[in-house]
Amino acid sequence: MMPGSAGWFLSEVPLLALTAVGTHLVMSGSQTLLHRWLGHRRWSGRFYRNHVNFHHVYYARGHLISTVYRGEEGNNTPFFLIPTLLAGGGLFFVLPGAVFLVMALAGAASFYGHVYFDKVYHVAGSPLERFAWFRRKQQLHFVHHLHANSNFAVIDFFWDRLLGTYREPDEEAL
């Protein structure tokens, strides 16, 4: 079948879906590891100071939520784009066009999701608060702000279970 035809597209759906899911998992796992090893280790210098002195100071015990997001100045997230773009750029030369396009779109969506969720967890009155799944993820994220050696993930907390850093919410995070 010719690329661009409906039959070709349908035959490629499993590969493209696997690419999208796999890309998100790589992005999510990388975010969790970078957060843990750069944002919470003194040896990482600027990354540690940015994360701890801004994000963890703004959102600490007693003020986990604010009326506006107050963490832009110490945000390490833009630095995560550097290895992402380098890896993606290299894959451009290796992957077939459709697979690369799906990977790029899934990577961008996953990156945006990480940034978006980290912000809305900390802003009062989020429209997502009406969903139990969101409130649960928010509680797990707040555990990280109360106990900085746990729950490094922002979206997929199963990574913390795999890394041995998972912690259930306590009364302060509820």
> 102 near 20, Cβ under 8 Å?
yes
* Below-50 pLDDT ranges, the chain: none
* pLDDT, position 166: 97
* pLDDT, position 9: 57
Bridge partner residues of 123 (DSSP): 66
* pLDDT, position 165: 97
Reported as a single tens digit per residue, the pLDDT across 71-98 is 666 677 777 778 888 888 888 888 898 8
Query: Taking the domains of the chain in order of start, what are their residue ranges?
Result: 18-173
* pLDDT, position 108: 93
> 16 near 24, Cβ under 8 Å?
no
